Amino acid sequence: DAGVTQSPTHLIKTRGQQVTLRCSPKSGHDTVSWYQQALGQGPQFIFQYYEEEERQRGNFPDRFSGHQFPNYSSELNVNALLLGDSALYLCASSSGTAYYGYTFGSGTRLTVV
Amino acid sequence: GENVEQHPSTLSVQEGDSAVIKCTYSDSASNYFPWYKQELGKGPQLIIDIRSNVGEKKDQRIAVTLNKTAKHFSLHITETQPEDSAVYFCAASKRSQGNLIFGKGTKLSVKP
């Protein structure tokens, strides 16, 4: 039973560019949440997708956007990259509207130069 | 909104000793408190969780206690082993909030 799969594992982008990160949820899960984890910090909530709609959003600018597909997989898009966007981006999947039972992927390490 | 504070930021113990990590939360409506272990290069892995209707939960060498009145919860690891070395995060959530609020993490080092 595959867990949460994220791609790519590492990425280097130049300031001002755009990036797309991908996530496939754990089998049986239909909700995807994205978190940003800066070095030495705890993960911070970006947004959550359920039934192909953004259900909740954290305190992140509109440069961060997402999408969920009918197969429950999800993408995180970041436009106009800043040096401060360098972080580990984690995807977590869960079931329905449950506020527990999250499974995290290994993340995508984004470096902005 | 909810704020979770975690202490200590680093903890070093000898193999076989116990380790305790403490967290406090600010929103009295929070009712779900998971603990995650994150190893280098990996995502957080759930190791134990507790809901506000119980005061303690144990799973082999790991236990979590919750004091709703004081709004704090703790992770206890007994008989520590070198493979317990990792960063541990506490978090809080509630039914009306579909996301987790994390503490800043504790780096645990278990010395052989």
Average pLDDT, chain A: 95
pLDDT per position as a tens digit, A9-59: 999 999 999 999 999 999 999 999 999 999 999 999 999 999 999 999 999
CB contact under 8 A, A43 and B100: yes
Of chain B, the percentage scoring pLDDT greater than 90 comes to: 88
Of A33, A42, A104, the CB nearest to B105: A42
| The pLDDT of residue A1 | 58
Q: Do residues A13 and A104 make contact, with C-beta atoms less than 8 angstroms apart?
A: no
- Residue B8 preceded by cis peptide, ω within 30: yes
CB contact under 8 A, A44 and B45: no
Q: DSSP character for B84?
A: G
What is residue B112's three-state secondary structure? coil
Question: Half-sphere exposure (CA, 13 Å, Cβ side) for A104?
Answer: 27
B92 in contact with chain A, both atoms CB, cutoff 8 A? no
User: If you measure CA to CA, which chain B residue comes closest to A102?
Assistant: B46
Q: CA-to-CA distance for A75 and B15, rounded, in angstroms? A: 42
* In the predicted structure, residue B98 carries a pLDDT above the cut 90: no
Q: DSSP character for B82?
A: G
* In the predicted structure, residue A108 carries a pLDDT above the cut 90: yes
* Min distance B2 CA to chain A CA atoms (Å): 12
Q: What is the average pLDDT across A89-113?
A: 93
Q: CA-to-CA distance for A41 and B89, rounded, in angstroms? A: 10
Output the DSSP codes for A46-110: EEEEETTEEEEE-S--TTEEEEE-TTS-EEEEE-S--GGG-EEEEEEEESTT-SS--EE---EEE
Task: Give the residue among B31, B22, B28 at the shortest CA–CA distance from B76.
Answer: B22
| The pLDDT of residue A53 | 95
